[in-house]
Chain A
Amino acid sequence: MQHGKYRFIAGFLLVPLAVYGIFVISPFVQAIYYSFTNWTGLSGDFRVTGLENYQRLWHDEVFWKAVGHNVLLLLLLPLLTLGLGLFFAFMLNVGGRRRKNAAVAGVRGSGVYKIIYFFPQVLSLAIVALLFQFAYNPNSGAINSFLSAIGLDSVKPDWLGDPKLALWCVTAVMVWSNVGFYVVLFSAGMASIPKDFYEAALLDGANRLQTFFRITLPLLWDTVQTGWVYMGIMALDGFAFIQIMTMGPGGPDYSTELLSYYLYTKAFRDGQAGYATTVGVALLIVTMIFAGIVMKLGRRERLEF
């Protein structure tokens, strides 16, 4: 029996572990090793160069530009996306006309709103990025022609072509495509908060804004924190948006360069695989710092209800 048990365990774990080890673990470990080499990726011979890549990284202006953009996204993207998600979810669940015997109620048709808001979430990032690449087109795109239709003919920004605007355009699209997910997620969380809490607070004279900050947000905190981590990971990637939407390498004047895209161009366009993995290690470090901060800041007493 015991013998059969271990054979069973080994049999069931062998294939998943092998696949995972070969295609996920080993590339990660190799990446760290390659970051200390001058490997081009084109030929098999390379040598270990120690910290040379890291020194070069330290003086690489484009790299620091990319870090700056990634950090900006890291701050903005979760704030905007989760903020809008919470706002709409609160409107859906508490913003409705009061019905009999209920202090708070959801708006009519909240199911329909949730279905529609979720649309972008089921689409491929490639589709979303392409759609907005067309929509931002300064001449025939949806946005500028909408602006001239409502009489704002003189305002015709170049959107993705303008180095000052390009990164904001990309950020807006990332927010657009993710808000719906958090509306649905937070709605599910809000629906499980007992209505009595709101009833009691409102009878005690609290207004809706106070109920949001004193009841809803504290009880949803765990979910918000999870969302923060997800959006952070999204902000640190952003590859598809940059590669598809913005022109040239990393947008006009590197204005939308992100670490992920910089890594990709170094490895697969410039033949600097070793240096590319160094960029990747830097990305890993940023990711770990971010995760550490979220864990530290987010630690709160868990509220059971």
Chain B
Amino acid sequence: MSVSTETEAPQTGRPVIDSPRGRLGSEGRVLNVFSHGVLVIWGLMVTMPLLWAVMSAFKTDNEIFTSPWSLPKSLRFDAWRRAWTTAHMSEYFLNSLIVVAGSLAGTMLLGAMAAYVLARFDFPGNRLIYFLFIGGMSFPVILALVPLFFVMKNMELLNTYPGLILVYIAYSLPFTVFFLTGFFRTLPTEVAEAALIDGASHSRTFFQVMLPMAKPGLISVGTFNFLGQWNQYLLPTVLNVGDEHKRLLPQGLVALAASQQYKGDWSGLFAGLVMAMLPVLGAYVVFQRQVQAGLTAGSLK
């Protein structure tokens, strides 16, 4: 790589023999102040809307309208109670937990099985199946949505949790298979061979030897899938519209917004929003290293 060697024209009358250390030093200090300034501004732009929502959740409707940026006069929790019980947020949390528990377990199991076979075994059609899975990463999901709706309807899976779980699994497979195939290829082959020679079956080798070895990769892709499925909005909006008590969290929250705006219960609405927001943010702060690694895992070479 070539680096330009021109220097800027000297601005003072001093000789050009400027020690690089000194020049860099002063440049560094100016830059340091500038970079902190810029970084703090973006930090505020990220946190202020979130803080504003948290503060609003503790206010009365009147306070929200008259003094949006001041602190709440007292910590009032009745908006939280309304959101949790009468606005069904507790139900939505539970529904999301059920669906995501099922779909996450299914995604990891099926994804790891397919990825292992594709990474480690040579058989006719291996490449074809691999690219069939990978192709799913770049197609717009919404194109499949209209026929998918009727596929689900015909199988009587529309508006059911098993149906949603299967769909979540299916749409998480492309990335999971892509990531885990790459991961299984990096694992040493000797251990599995030793296990096979010792008389373990292929599936036993997979479950008792290879899966434990793949743990770091499984954690990364598991984090990725958990957040993706927990936050999923498009699929339940189309495929889970029957019973309002069966709504999932993001979907329920949007429905809540529509009805509370109509009723004019703004504090209840903010409480619901913050309630949905805080657990994820809290978990993220605790596990931030794993979460950052998991979400960026697929984009690094």
A residues with CB within 8 A of B: 4-6, 8-9, 11-13, 15-17, 19-20, 22-28, 30-31, 34, 41, 84, 87-88, 91-92, 95-98, 103, 107, 113-127, 130-135, 139-142, 145-146, 149, 176, 179-181, 184-185, 188-189, 200-208, 210-211, 214-215, 218, 222-223, 226-227, 229-230, 233, 236-237, 239-240, 243-244, 260, 263-264, 267-268, 273, 276-277, 280-281, 283-284, 287, 291, 303
Contacts and interface: CB of A to CB of B under 8 A. Distances in A.
Interface in B237-262: 237-238, 249-251, 253-254, 257
B117 A12 contact: yes
B212 interface: no
Given A119-B46, A127-B277, A206 B139 contact: no
Interface residues of B, number: 106
A9 B132 contact: no
A222 B301 CA distance: 8
B27 to A, nearest CB: 7
Nearest to A106: B35
A226 B300 CA distance: 9
B48 to A, nearest CB: 7
Interface in B83-140: 110-111, 113-114, 116-117, 121, 123, 129, 132-133, 136, 138-140
B140 to A, nearest CB: 5
A146 B280 CA distance: 27
Given A124-B250, A135-B49, A303-B1, A185 B300 contact: yes
A31 B277 CA distance: 35
A116 B40 CA distance: 10
16 contacts: A84-B42, A88-B39, A92-B35, A97-B28, A97-B32, A123-B231, A123-B277, A130-B257, A134-B56, A180-B46, A204-B3, A222-B301, A233-B138, A240-B234, A260-B142, A267-B145
B284 A119 contact: yes
Contacts of B123: 6, 9
B161 to A, nearest CB: 15
A145 to B, nearest CB: 4
A264 B142 contact: yes
B171 interface: yes
Contacts of B208: none
B234 A239 contact: yes
A8 B280 contact: no
A65 B119 CA distance: 45
> Residue among B42, B167, B253, B277 with the most chain A CB within 10 A?
B42
B7 A96 contact: no
B17 interface: no
Contacts of B146: 27, 31, 34, 41, 263, 267, 273, 276-277, 280
B203 A280 contact: no
Nearest to A132: B49
Given A97-B28, A120-B46, A145-B69, A223 B301 contact: yes
B291 interface: yes
A126 B138 contact: no
B170 A287 contact: no
A296 B227 CA distance: 32
A131 B49 contact: yes
Contacts of B27: 207-208
A142 B117 CA distance: 52
A19 B151 contact: no
Given A30-B147, A210-B3, A287 B32 contact: no
A284 B284 contact: no
A176 B45 contact: yes
Nearest to B34: A95
Helix, strand, loop or mixed for chain A's interface? Answer: helix
Interface in B218-237: 227, 230-234, 237
Given A185-B300, A264-B142, A23 B166 contact: yes
Contacts of A11: 203
A128 B149 CA distance: 26
Given A19-B166, A113-B39, A123-B231, A13 B117 contact: yes
Contacts of B136: 20, 24
Given A6-B123, A12-B113, A28-B139, A124 B299 contact: no
B5 interface: yes
B3 A200 contact: yes
> Residue among A6, A23, A222, A267 with the most chain B CB within 10 A?
A23
B65 A215 contact: no
B299 A23 contact: no
Nearest to A92: B39
A6 B126 CA distance: 12
A146 B67 CA distance: 10
A113 B32 CA distance: 15
A117 B233 contact: no
Interface string B48-69: 1110110010000000110011
B43 interface: yes
B233 A201 contact: no
A283 B20 CA distance: 54
B296 A122 contact: no
